[in-house]
Amino acid sequence: MELVWPDARYLSGYTDALKRGWSPDNLRPQAAAEQLARIEQDPARFLSEQVDREAKGPAVVLPDGRRVPRLPGYARWMWDGEFCGSISFRWQPGTTELPPYCLGHIGYAVVPWKRRRGYATRALQLLLPEAKLEGLAFVVITTDADNLASRRVIESNGGVLIQQFHKAPEYGGAESLRFRISL
């Protein structure tokens, strides 16, 4: 499995995953339908918005429907000859801090038919050196406390538990874990 930049060569695999019910946003499953509509409307623009180091793209829609400013960031797609999932990275230039509406620097989602193959662990391993290049000393990643697979992904990449908390109601209110990975 490798990480590829979102590109027209891989877009049919991405759209197939969306049509099969996968969503790159585990807090907003409806993001799949929204992305399919955006791809249908303008595939080139959709692809260009996946790499947005200057935060020029559209506002981010939170689970409660609020729109908030986009952070600089990008998505990479997991690829093993087929689309496997995505991993995204966002940051604020010059600081490791994140705004309150952003639960972590990195998020990932593997399509259900490619899980349990170590792809999320490998994707995170490949992305961490890129995060370091942005000048960060560490990244923060959160997961629901009952998501043991995600916890193993984070811990396998050096994640250290720094906080147990409950997400705000607009994020589902789940008991969650916040990890830090030093770069």
pLDDT tens for the chain, 183 residues: list them. 999 999 999 999 999 999 999 999 887 788 899 999 999 999 999 999 999 999 998 888 887 888 999 999 999 999 999 999 999 999 999 999 999 889 999 999 999 999 999 999 999 999 999 999 999 999 999 999 999 999 999 999 999 999 999 998 878 889 999 999 999
Q: Which residue has the tokens 């997991």?
A: 78
Q: How many residues does the chain have?
A: 183
Cβ within 8 Å of residue 6, ≥6 positions away: 14, 47, 50, 51, 75, 76, 77
Which DSSP state fits 96? Answer: S
Q: How far apart are CA 34 and CA 43, in angstroms?
A: 13
The predicted model scores a pTM of 0.93
CA distances from 135 to 72, 91, 176 (A): 13, 10, 27
Which DSSP state fits 145? Answer: T
